[in-house]
Structure 1
Amino acid sequence: MIDLYTASTPNGHKVSVALEELGLPYTVHAIDLAAKVQKEPWFLALNPNGRIPVIVDREMDDFAVFESGAILVYLAEKTGRLMPTDVKGRSQVMQWLMFQMGGVGPMMGQANVFYRYFPEKIPPAIERYQNESRRLFEVLDSQLARTEWLAGGEYSIADIANWCWVRTHRWSGVSTEGLTHLQRWLDAMKARPACQRGVEIPVKVESLVDDKKGSQAFIEQARGMVQR
Structure 2
Amino acid sequence: MLRIICSFLLLLLAACAPLTPPQQLPDDCRAEAAPAQLPASNWLQQPGIWRLRQAVLLEIGAKKIPLEGFLRLDLERGEARLLAMNEMGLVLFDLQVSNHDQQLQRAIPQLQQVRGFAQGVAQSLRQIFLQPQPQAGDHLENRGNSRRLWRLLPGGSLGFIYDCRGELRETRLVADAGDWRVAYDQYRQFGAMRLPEQIVMNDYRHGVKLSLWMREVKQEP
* TM-score relative to the length of structure 2: 0.29
- Larger helix share, 1 or 2: 1
More strand by share: 2
TM score, norm. by length of structure 1: 0.29
